[in-house]
Structure 1
């Protein structure tokens, strides 16, 4: 990681005062740049959390009904209802605190105090009081308090895994005195990272929210409360259901009064139905699932900046990916040497290194120098003529074993023009060049000649060979591309490379056996003609400009696709903003790219995108299962709560029974459906609708069957002469058994939580109805074993059609072409 120093901070970089800044200057710098509050986050008070919890209608229902029972002298019911408030409030506090903890956890890697030089003295101060320009001392094992440049220290290594995701130590060296330009990566220290070895003296350049870690914290918290389209849909659904529920409640109350059951009965009938019918679980479940999605994606090194991404990422149909650093490692390495006749591979590499510049930080020069042998003994560099875009070559004049030679390296077409080659030899060289280029390598040519002066010769060189440099494919990319294809996701590589080079890399990455490649100009021309059909088979856009990248994204959207675009530079900002999901590179990406992106990849890896899609699809699958469970349970609960009293029978559910059901439904819907993904393979693409027609039919059909089972059981038992309490208990056991069965069939009992809740529901229903004392506390009638088995068996049998919710194939294997 490397940072650019803005002009207004360059004076801090050039400061050489070893005694640090003074208090007065620190105050001025704090006013100008701010202090070092990196993970500033106001923790919510108990009162604020309680205020949110108080919005739950269930709590007001419990309080109101317990008051009524107290007025009627039913003290047991009063105490039980009041005690039922405790777990409901506890769950809300747990969920709120868990959300707060996820944000507060970002500060765990930060320094709390630092040793700083102020007014010529070293003192320890709180880390959040540091300012740009401060000179701090960091010892082994301590975190760096902010982003700065290392000025002194030896044998330094840092742990930067919190920012980069890489576990190995990163060597650090002090910035040389008088160095010009921006410090290189090895000179930087970053907040949130830790010094592993040595002791470092660091000049702080960026503090607070301007640090890389501060940007991450701000990205994680800036849009936490943003509502997604699905949240809006659920909110509208909830409002509509509430209106309908209230209307039915008023109707039920009026009917019960008309039937002569009295005011208390009418109120309880309406209140019970209202609480059963109000779908407060839906927004709670959705909010919790989105929060879980953000958390899990962060664990996969994908930092979500907008909650809408958690919905959209599972719906992705195309990924427009950069090549360098995402599909490839982004590091040039020596790949192939093809020396001319009479030249050894070692000599070819040696001459290429002689035409390179040590310390230039040119990736090509670094790749050559890393592999080249040292210059011959006694050789001496006399002059050099550096590479420019206009010259397309680099030439160095060396004195070597009593003679003066010129060595040149550069673009093959440029170097070959400097050489004296016959037509046949030129054709042979061109063939080798084409073969190397077709394999995805960056090819340079080398040549030499004897000279008498240090002036740059304009010709007469002897060709010495071709050198192939490659940016290796990232580990796991080929498998990730294949997983994406199997899941119905198209991958398009967008690069500035030559089409032939891009095609070779696309083939190696597994985009296709014979990748379809268009240049940016060709793509733009076809889109300008209204052609969109070619997008289905497109694999690579080569020689692409930023504007053409935007055109591609817009065309994908117009053709009905949901697209993700990766980018790292300022020139990628338009495409990142245009895409349904903009994905910025966290390690090498610019701040502007990270600011507009919806996701920041902390490891710049294409495989991370695919893992995030798998997480998104599993999250949506979990959410649909949870909502299906809620609907299948609420349909019989609400219907029977209204139908039985309307038919003139006694109340089917008393308030305490609604509490029991809600205490089972809430944790089951929220915690029972948190299955982890096992990869993208086999995960079906998410459509625009929440449920399709088949799933809707299963939900409604299962809900109706459970409704019939509960209502019929109650009516039959009452008709057989048993007291209403006995029939009510059997109906409740039937519904609880159906609840446990639906949880089992919709989750497959893959998670420990789902198994625990399903088992707890059945065990509770068994224990609470077979023993007289707990049955009396809960307004239930003790049952004998045959009656319990009849009730539970009826509920289980009625809910088994929920298995049909799994009937749809798990994945679509549709792929027009196979990779080679």
Structure 2
């Protein structure tokens, strides 16, 4: 069971169950720890949102164009363009609020006040005034105001869906015992900020407040990490600069051509500015940043806290995972798995012998497992103890029972204990065979024995012969739930998983076999202290396990795999893991048992220390990247016919195909579609096959060819529809209506094909696009305002054909995009 560390060194000296803080203690804690502000108290004014929105080039385009119309005395057109800024401002404000709504909405899951025991009196106070060490009382239906230990309460059930996504209530129980707090406690004893108590009344000893709570860390990593520039963001910015430069050159050429054709400076300027706005790909960096922020939140739901946004970019491309064994693949806790008593004893009998030899207050996990398995022990008094040492490989205790009879009890390495016992050679050989069999399965074994002592025996001398053999006890660190299935998913996707441990090779190989790593015969590399992993890897292409590895060798192993072209994720929990975590493409630190050094250097922190979570995060990151690729494909497919139409038709000497109001209309369709339709698309199936490529790119060459084909056909359709509708009578308004209709239904068909309408946002956006098209075209007042002419029945049949063609072509392109992961 996962243990969470208790910061006993930063708490005032208070009783673990019923004592609250004094005012003086609380003030001292507040000076040291600050306020319990889990969600930063940041207010955002509408003026600030409007100021950010003003950076949208579309608004400047509208203002400039309205000014030009005003100078020419065309007041109606100028006012119409200025009014068109309102829906753009509203859309930008809505999208901005939507990106920050997740952070702001988190505050609704937090307690605003708390019932706290101060100076011996229960009092109501603001939750932000709580400090570590406070004792608070939480009633049913209330949210926990901070992270802490449950020290009193019964029948406790908690809704943890806010943090874990688990819909079923989680059973909690109060920490047993009195006095000082232990160094760690299982998850069942913790109450966490943002989770809600369903049944019972809980007394919570506050241990973590503010940004140090799990809830606070999710908020902090999501809001801070989403603003960090990543390599792909920089590449996108460079692409935008290049496209902007090309667009300006083409715009200048178009303006000169229009002037040469005799259309006048107003027409030339409008042509150039319209083309510039159509060609500037400002949506690309906006969509990318939006997706990164959303990815941080979704990975947090998978128990993976992303501390730096670059991890969102890279985690979906991981091709190799170097995982610890203890605590990540296994539970990190010894469990008594089997009792093998000698003749004349039962399972409880051999367990009682072992518990007599074990220290009752020991922090040793094996001793704790023994006492937990036995339960209440028989009455008696320990008279002497001889602790375990590596030289003796055993520990012994002398006890007296209620009648005063003395006995010695010993446990330790089976070979050592057997040598102290009175056994025939046949019996000794039988037990040694059992020891060897269980050692091959990865279990830890101890032998147990006892011996009656005469009255008056010297307590200072440890008995060392004549013991009665009691039997063997086997312990194991059980494999975590879901790990075997996660390993199978990785292997099916072609992702390498290598378990790196300092453990004995037999133990490591047995665990690998239990989780299906390497099949029935895992390949294990046993390292000597002087070995270089890079050299030893040459003969182990299918390596599954590395045993006896030192921290320096783990670092060298990461470097060797990276040199071989792998994108490597590494797990670690200690200071000695920091070099490997720093070197890895994705360092993954353990949140429950990891050191602060490991958590600070790693861009990803696991809340539950579970290997299954790593694989879930890889799958989530991969789907996020796939959704981003679909959004970028949509932008490219829609912008290409928009730019071609805006440039080609004026260059032919024909009237402009798109007026400023039409660009506004298209912006209101393209921008929200790219931001919202693709953001939350689910995966089509299990983990996709891995592409081993260290350089990040969005599209493979065949995907570029597919997009060029679809975008090119859409461009031809826009230009042809304009020429077709223009006809011999040169009906410009009819031609513009036809070209706009073709472009809008192409956008709807492309969105439908790429998303397959698997989310409500995509369905609403496609429906809204088609509804706006029909309404604006066929309602005379609106069509006149937009300088368009209603379409005829044959026109609509052609438009419907374009929608079907765009849908079918894009469905094929979407399949190609899934198959050609970059």
| Secondary structure in 2 matching 1:565 | strand
Deviation of 1:373 after TM superposition, in Å, equals 6.4
Q: How does 1:132-171 map to 2 (within 5 A)?
A: 132=132, 142-146=142-146, 153=152, 155=154, 157=156, 159=158, 161=160, 167-171=169-173
The range that moved more, 752-761 or 783-792, is 752-761
| Secondary structure in 1 matching 2:656 | coil
From 772, 775, 778, the equivalent of 2:783 is: 775
Corresponding residue of 2:288: 286
**Alignment check: 8 A CA contact 1:492 1:540 kept:** yes
**Alignment check: 8 A CA contact 1:81 1:656 kept:** yes
| Secondary structure in 1 matching 2:488 | helix
CA separation in 2, counterparts of 1:472 and 1:418? 31
**Alignment check: 8 A CA contact 1:43 1:100 kept:** no
| Deviations 1:432-467, CA, capped at 9 Å, x for gaps | 112112223222222222333344212332332222
Deviation of 1:303 after TM superposition, in Å, equals 1.6
| Secondary structure in 2 matching 1:338 | strand
| Secondary structure in 2 matching 1:525 | coil
RMSD: 3.3
Corresponding residue of 1:234: 236
Q: How does 1:420-569 map to 2 (within 5 A)?
A: 420-421=422-423, 424-452=426-454, 453=457, 454=459, 455-513=461-519, 514-521=521-528, 525-527=531-533, 530-534=535-539, 536-569=541-574
Deviation of 1:642 after TM superposition, in Å, equals 0.9
**Alignment check: 8 A CA contact 1:486 1:812 kept:** no
| Deviations 1:195-251, CA, capped at 9 Å, x for gaps | 666666666565444555545544444433101111111111011111111111111
Distance 1:670 1:205, change over 3 A: closer
The range that moved more, 418-427 or 51-60, is 418-427
| Deviations 1:441-500, CA, capped at 9 Å, x for gaps | 222222222333344212332332222112222222111111111112111112232111
Deviation of 1:686 after TM superposition, in Å, equals 7.5
The range that moved more, 265-274 or 184-193, is 184-193
From 244, 247, 257, the equivalent of 2:246 is: 244
CA separation in 1, counterparts of 2:184 and 2:661? 68
Deviation of 1:504 after TM superposition, in Å, equals 0.9
| Deviations 1:385-423, CA, capped at 9 Å, x for gaps | 333455432322234577533222222233233335555
**Alignment check: 8 A CA contact 1:148 1:202 kept:** yes
The range that moved more, 554-563 or 140-149, is 140-149
Deviation of 1:119 after TM superposition, in Å, equals 6.1
CA separation in 2, counterparts of 1:547 and 1:73? 77
Corresponding residue of 1:747: 755
Q: How many residues align?
A: 806
| Deviations 1:643-691, CA, capped at 9 Å, x for gaps | 1111211111111222222222112222222312255334554853211
CA separation in 1, counterparts of 2:711 and 2:779? 30
From 591, 598, 601, the equivalent of 1:586 is: 591
| Deviations 1:674-729, CA, capped at 9 Å, x for gaps | 31225533455485321111011111122222222222332344353341222222
**Alignment check: 8 A CA contact 1:21 1:134 kept:** no
Distance 1:59 1:569, change over 3 A: same
Deviation of 1:508 after TM superposition, in Å, equals 0.9
Deviation of 1:424 after TM superposition, in Å, equals 4.6
**Alignment check: 8 A CA contact 2:749 2:806 kept:** no
Distance 1:371 1:595, change over 3 A: same
**Alignment check: 8 A CA contact 2:351 2:374 kept:** yes
CA separation in 1, counterparts of 2:182 and 2:630? 56
The range that moved more, 182-191 or 507-516, is 182-191
Corresponding residue of 1:635: 640
**Is residue 383 from structure 1 mapped to residue 390 from structure 2 by the alignment?**
no
Corresponding residue of 1:395: 396
Deviation of 1:317 after TM superposition, in Å, equals 0.4
Corresponding residue of 1:760: 768
**Alignment check: 8 A CA contact 1:705 1:799 kept:** no
Distance 1:68 1:169, change over 3 A: same
**Alignment check: 8 A CA contact 1:228 1:307 kept:** yes
**Alignment check: 8 A CA contact 1:657 1:778 kept:** yes
Corresponding residue of 1:667: 672
CA separation in 2, counterparts of 1:803 and 1:165? 32
**Alignment check: 8 A CA contact 1:487 1:812 kept:** no
| Secondary structure in 1 matching 2:5 | coil
**Alignment check: 8 A CA contact 1:731 1:791 kept:** no
Q: How does 1:313-352 map to 2 (within 5 A)?
A: 313-352=315-354
Deviation of 1:163 after TM superposition, in Å, equals 6.6
Corresponding residue of 1:680: 686
| Secondary structure in 1 matching 2:546 | strand
**Is residue 691 from structure 1 mapped to residue 696 from structure 2 by the alignment?**
no
From 582, 586, 593, the equivalent of 1:577 is: 582
Deviation of 1:779 after TM superposition, in Å, equals 1.5
The range that moved more, 421-430 or 46-55, is 421-430
| Secondary structure in 2 matching 1:561 | coil
| Secondary structure in 2 matching 1:521 | coil
Corresponding residue of 1:816: none
CA separation in 2, counterparts of 1:641 and 1:196? 61
**Is residue 725 from structure 1 mapped to residue 727 from structure 2 by the alignment?**
no
CA separation in 1, counterparts of 2:697 and 2:191? 48
CA separation in 1, counterparts of 2:540 and 2:92? 48
Corresponding residue of 1:307: 309
Structure 2: runs of 5 or more not aligned:
none
Structure 1: runs of 5 or more not aligned:
814-820
Corresponding residue of 1:88: 88
**Alignment check: 8 A CA contact 2:319 2:692 kept:** no
**Alignment check: 8 A CA contact 2:439 2:507 kept:** yes
**Alignment check: 8 A CA contact 1:154 1:173 kept:** no
Distance 1:56 1:180, change over 3 A: closer
| Secondary structure in 2 matching 1:169 | strand
CA separation in 2, counterparts of 1:16 and 1:613? 42
Corresponding residue of 1:409: 411
| Secondary structure in 1 matching 2:43 | coil
**Alignment check: 8 A CA contact 2:641 2:715 kept:** yes
**Alignment check: 8 A CA contact 1:409 1:415 kept:** yes
Q: Could you state the TM-score of these two structures normalised by the residue count of structure 2?
A: 0.89
Corresponding residue of 1:355: 357
Distance 1:768 1:172, change over 3 A: same
CA separation in 2, counterparts of 1:160 and 1:547? 43
Deviation of 1:2 after TM superposition, in Å, equals 3.8
Deviation of 1:581 after TM superposition, in Å, equals 1.2
